[in-house]
Amino acid sequence: MEFKIGTRMIGENYPPLVIAEIGINHGGNFEKAKKMIDDAHKAGAECVKFQRHVIEDEMVESEAKKTIPANSKVSIWDVMKECSLTFEEDKKLKEYTESLNMIYLSTPFSRAATNDLEKMNVKAYKIGSGECNNYPLIEHIASFGKPIILSTGMNNLENIKISVNIIEKYNVPYAILHCTSMYPTPYNKIRLGALTKLKNNFPNAVIGLSDHSIGNYTCFGAIPLGARILEKHFTSDKNWSGNDVPISIDPYELKELINGSKAIFESLGNNKEILKEEKPTIDFAYASVVSIKPIKTGEKFTKENLWVKRPGTGEFLAKEYNSLLGKTAKEDIPKDVQIKKEMFNR
C-alpha cells in the first residue's frame, strides 16, 4: 500500500500527495502553463499534472465535432484543438517542472499520447476517469511498468476490478482515486464513503480523491478515510477563461490545501491514552480529594467533610473519592488540606 514517484513516497503512512491539476487551464498558451507551474511551486506544491492530447489518435473528428461537453459551449474536438500543446512544449514543461524539484504528471488520452510521455521519460502515469474502462489503453500504459494513478469517475467496482487486474498483471504499483465526474460536483454527490469501499475492495492500492467540488472541504474530509493522494484542478487566476477554471483552486487555496492536509495527517491516530505531555495540564485541571471542614482524630471521612477541588497535585484524585469515604482519620486534619495516605487508617 505504498510506492514511490521519484523520491516521494506515497502511501498510508505518508502525508497526502497534493496534485495541482493544471490540465488544460492554460488554454494552449505555453507561458500561462509555465506561470501556473511557478505559482504552484510558490504555494508549496510537490506535483503538477497536465494532459497530453494527440487529438487525431484520440477522437473521431466527425463524431467529436458533434459532441459538446456539459461544461462547454463548443465541441470536444474544438476544445482540445485549442488547448493542445505540442510535444516540444509539453517536454519543456516537464523539464521546467523537474528543475524546480517537483513531480511532473500527465494524463494521456490515447496510445500516441502515452508513447509521447514515454519518450519524455515520465516517472508515473495518471489515467483519467474517462479511460478507467478503456482497457486496451490501460494495458498499453501498464506495459511500461511505471506507477499508475487511476481515477474512477463514471465507473463502478466491477469496471474498476478489470482495470486493476490488468495493472496487477504487469506488477505495477498503483493508486485508485475516487471521483465524481460532475463539474462542479455538489457535496451530496461526492460520496466520501466510497473511499472505504475502494480500500476494502482493493487492498493493494493507495487510495485517494480526485475532487471537482468547490473549495477544499471534501479533500480535508477524505484524509481520515484513508486518502493519501488529493487532486484538484488549479489555476493562477480564476478570472481566466477555460472550461475547468470555475472548479479550480487558486494559489492561496492550493497553499491552504497543502498545509491543511499535512496538519490533518499529523493529527491522525487511533489510541486514547493519557499522554505524558498532558501531565502539566493534569496538575492544574484535575481535582484532588480535600477536607472541606476540620476533621478530628478518629472521625470518619464523609461527604460532609470530604470533597474534591483543584489542583490535581494530591495523592488522591477525584476518581478515588468514593474509596476514601468511611475511612478513619489518624490525626487532626485542618480544612482545605489535600488528603494523604498517612492521614487515615487503611
Q: Is 284 exposed, middle or buried (0-12, 13-18, 19+ CB in 10 A)?
A: exposed
Count the alpha carbons within 13 Å of 9 in the hemisphere toward its beta carbon.
7
pLDDT tens for the chain, 346 residues long, are 899 999 999 999 999 999 999 999 999 999 999 999 999 999 999 999 999 999 999 999 899 998 998 778 889 998 888 889 999 999 999 999 999 999 999 999 999 999 999 999 999 999 999 999 999 999 999 999 999 999 999 999 999 999 999 999 999 999 999 999 999 999 999 999 999 999 999 999 999 999 999 999 999 999 999 999 999 999 999 999 988 999 999 999 999 999 999 999 999 999 999 999 999 999 999 999 999 999 999 999 999 999 999 999 999 999 999 999 999 999 999 999 999 999 999 8
137 near 170, Cβ under 8 Å? no
Rounded to 5 degrees, φ, ψ at 135 are: -65, -35
What's residue 227's pLDDT? 98
Classified as helix, coil or strand, 173 is: coil
Residue 42's identity, in one-letter code, is: K
Give the integer Cα–Cα distance in Å for 133 and 130. 7
Look at the domain 12-267 and name its fold. Answer: TIM Barrel (3.20.20)
- Closest-CA residue to 213 (of 248, 237, 243): 248
What's residue 127's pLDDT? 98
Look up cell 502539566; give the residue. Answer: 280
- Closest-CA residue to 140 (of 120, 110, 162): 110
State the chain's mean pLDDT as an integer.
96
283-338: pLDDT as tens digits: 999 999 999 999 999 999 999 999 999 999 999 999 999 999 999 999 999 999 99
254 near 18, Cβ under 8 Å? yes
Segment (H or E) for 344 = strand 344-345
What residue ranges do the domains of the chain occupy? Answer: 12-267, 276-345
Q: 246: Cβ–Cβ under 8 A, 6 or more apart, which residues?
A: 71, 183, 184, 238
Classified as helix, coil or strand, 21 is: strand
Give the integer Cα–Cα distance in Å for 66 and 62. 7
247 near 183, Cβ under 8 Å? yes
What's residue 72's pLDDT? 81
What's residue 179's pLDDT? 98
CATH number belonging to domain 276-345: 3.90.1210.10
Q: 250: Cβ–Cβ under 8 A, 6 or more apart, which residues?
A: 234, 235, 236, 237, 238
What's residue 215's pLDDT? 97
What's residue 281's pLDDT? 97
C-alpha cell read off for 134: 478503456
| Same CATH fold assignment for domains 12-267 and 276-345 | no
β-pair partners for 208: 177
61-95: pLDDT as tens digits: 899 998 998 778 889 998 888 889 999 999 999 99
What's residue 108's pLDDT? 98
Give the integer Cα–Cα distance in Å for 250 and 229. 18
Question: How far apart, in Å, are the Cα atoms of 20 and each of 43, 148, 261?
Answer: 10, 17, 13
Look up cell 480529594; give the residue. Answer: 289
